[in-house]
Structure 1
Amino acid sequence: MRALVANEALFPPEVEVEYVLVDDASADGTAAALHRFRRQYPDRVRVVELAGNVGSYNAIVAGMAHATGDCNVIITADMQDPPELMVTMYAYWRQGFQLVIGNRQDRQEGLLTTWFSRLFHSLMRRFALRNIPPGGFDYVLFDRQVREQVVQLQERNSNVFYLMTWLGYAYVNIPYSRRRREIGTSRWTLSKKVKLFLDSFLSFSFFPIRAISATGISLGVVAMLYGLYLVALRLSGTQQPAGWTMLMVVVLFVSAFQMMALGIIGEYVWRGLDAARNRPLYIVKDVSEPVKSSQ
């Protein structure tokens, strides 16, 4: 937090800064820490407490809904992203860009984490959103108009950062090196990463459905050709090949494909059901507004 406050001195003097801090129903004392920070800077800190844990991306939307600035920045609390980059982002916003992306060109993290991250974003660029920068991003500055449109969409099981690029605004991409985490351990577990990949990919791509259709057609063509081959053998009087093992392999393969296809279709159906129920993305338990000092 101190790094963010110190970073304010780098902005032009006419810039007013507010902090919107969201507690996603944490059980580790985060809410108390946020309120201590608010007591230190009561004139520009807003604390939003959610009633239940809804996930980081829904919590980000909650923060966006309570922000009031002309432009906004999303930065993770672990401070692996350099706060001083905001000044450059702000300068681009003053030039008229409504979306400015801090793009992780490099990261001071483990090789496995780096490799999986690059694979994830390369798949997204190839099969879902071709206009996203390589390497991924979750450090962005965006205009009030972008904020209002994202909040209005209320999209479930999605990726709020990719949603901003999906809107179609021209953006500036600023590459930077992400720092190694110095304090605490990440709670971004493997299961959360898998869910993020599924949510992101299925929200912006129909490639899995097309892949199922293409594979089904290919299997159908192979089955038809093999059937014609067996008919030709029968008509010519040639002994048909005995193939119990081959038959079992084909049955198991097709069954496995059917189950996989049903699973992919089920993911799409579940997301459609979740959207149709129209439940709120989050429930706000309490909001502590900034207290402006009287002149």
Structure 2
Amino acid sequence: MKPELSVVIPCYNEAENVRAICAAVTAEAAQHAASHEILLIDNESTDATRDLMRGLCAEDPRIRAIFNNRNYGQMRSPTYGIYQAEGDAVIGMCADFQDPPAMIGAFVAQWRAGAQVVLGQRRSERTSPLLAAARRLGYAFLRRYGDYPVIPGATGFGLFDREVVDTLAAWNEPEPFFRGMLVESGFRLAVLPFDRPERAAGTSKNDVAALFSFALSGLAGSAKSLLRMPIVLSFLVAGCALLLGAAAAAAALFGGPALALLGFATGFGMFAVLLLFLGLIGEQVRMLAERTRNVPLVIESERINFPPDRRRPASRVLIRRP
């Protein structure tokens, strides 16, 4: 029988946290849902995480596990886990307690009140001033150029209705910026602010390079209109070329550096043509990207405690047998 609530917890080297997070989630879910499952998806951990996951699955059949055949990054693996969940509602959260399990009851209450997406919103971030400034700049940029509104402090921790999960799985995004897709989909949304707690144990797996890569992927996925920016710039540069051409004509009539102005006008005109073609190429790339989303998010090496027929076609499950 399908559970009312699924809680999906992506893991990478979380040996210090995985047992504790499962215990905390089980305690909360038992209070607030008629039935539940916990789905752990491991992104090729190199510590004892997988051994602990096997033990947890053996102890409790409501705990299920997926082992990826390699590390697929922090966008693809968590999203794939959400697509594999079977609950009427699905919660996605981190394994290290930065997403507090105590929020589960509030999420479920909002869902039962009619919200289809419930997002936790961090009130503050414990980070360096430089990284905080970079985040503010990134959010401002997305607000200006993004294809849909951005919710600052919403990292993807939240609850998603079954209809939402099935709809987003059918989009077949090769690099899913899931938190943006939730807003883009237009489903009924509720936001619950919370204070971010400290990590229970371990260290963050996100260094500056990983965060920068994630930001670029999110920008590419949520601001497709930027591909058209060269076209807009080409018209602005063409306008400058016309003004310089007019100034060169006036200089030829009334005396002045006509040849220099004409040279500048020609240069600006050529640059405008180049930008126009770059913009058209970008538009073609955008259209191709829309038409060729046909790769699996994850290839599994193993799954534990799943029924034999547990396959969701929209997520294109691929399993590599060991």
Query: Considering the TM-score relative to the shorter chain, is it more than 0.5?
Result: yes
Per the alignment, do residues 154 and 125 of structure 1 end up closer, same or farther by CA in structure 2, a change over 3 Å counting?
same
Offset of residue 65 of structure 1: 2.8
Of 281, 289, 298, 1:282 maps to 298
Offset of residue 163 of structure 1: 0.8
Q: Deviations over 1:191-227 (max 9, x none)?
A: 3323322322232334423432222111111112112
Do residues 21 (structure 1) and 48 (structure 2) align?
A: no
1:107 aligns to what SS in structure 2?
A: coil
Do residues 164 (structure 1) and 216 (structure 2) align?
A: no
* Correspondence for 2:52: 33
Whichever residue aligns with residue 35 of structure 2, its letter is E
Q: Deviations over 1:212-243 (max 9, x none)?
A: 22221111111121122122222334454769
Per the alignment, do residues 29 and 169 of structure 1 end up closer, same or farther by CA in structure 2, a change over 3 Å counting?
same
Do residues 80 (structure 1) and 98 (structure 2) align?
A: yes
Whichever residue aligns with residue 27 of structure 1, its letter is T
* Correspondence for 1:191: 209
Do residues 122 (structure 1) and 140 (structure 2) align?
A: yes
1:81–1:139 CA contact under 8 A, matched in 2: yes
RMSD of equivalent CA atoms: 3.4
Which structure 2 residues correspond to residues 201-216 of structure 1 after superposition, within 5 A? Answer: 201-216=219-234
Per the alignment, do residues 267 and 241 of structure 1 end up closer, same or farther by CA in structure 2, a change over 3 Å counting?
closer
Whichever residue aligns with residue 53 of structure 2, its letter is L
Report how many aligned residue pairs link the two structures. Answer: 286
TM-score, structure 1 as length reference: 0.81
2:139–2:152 CA contact under 8 A, matched in 1: yes
CA distance in 2, matches of 1:110, 1:239: 53
* Correspondence for 1:135: 153
CA distance in 1, matches of 2:189, 2:251: 63
1:156–1:275 CA contact under 8 A, matched in 2: no
Whichever residue aligns with residue 188 of structure 1, its letter is N
Do residues 109 (structure 1) and 127 (structure 2) align?
A: yes
Which structure 2 residues correspond to residues 145-160 of structure 1 after superposition, within 5 A? Answer: 145-160=163-178
2:142 aligns to what SS in structure 1?
A: helix
2:121–2:192 CA contact under 8 A, matched in 1: yes
TM-score, structure 2 as length reference: 0.75
Per the alignment, do residues 88 and 231 of structure 1 end up closer, same or farther by CA in structure 2, a change over 3 Å counting?
same
2:65–2:305 CA contact under 8 A, matched in 1: yes
2:296 aligns to what SS in structure 1?
A: coil
Q: Where do 5+ consecutive residues of structure 1 fail to align?
A: none
Between 1 and 2, higher relative CO (CA 8 Å, sep ≥ 6) is seen in: 1
More deviation, 121-130/270-279:
270-279
* Correspondence for 1:64: 82
- Runs (4+) off by over 6 Å: none
CA distance in 2, matches of 1:264, 1:183: 49
CA distance in 1, matches of 2:283, 2:108: 39
CA distance in 2, matches of 1:158, 1:272: 16
Which structure 2 residues correspond to residues 222-241 of structure 1 after superposition, within 5 A? Answer: 222-238=240-256, 240=258
Q: Where do 5+ consecutive residues of structure 2 fail to align?
A: 1-18, 308-322
Per the alignment, do residues 15 and 118 of structure 1 end up closer, same or farther by CA in structure 2, a change over 3 Å counting?
farther
Per the alignment, do residues 110 and 179 of structure 1 end up closer, same or farther by CA in structure 2, a change over 3 Å counting?
farther
CA distance in 1, matches of 2:301, 2:105: 33
Per the alignment, do residues 214 and 75 of structure 1 end up closer, same or farther by CA in structure 2, a change over 3 Å counting?
same
2:121–2:155 CA contact under 8 A, matched in 1: yes
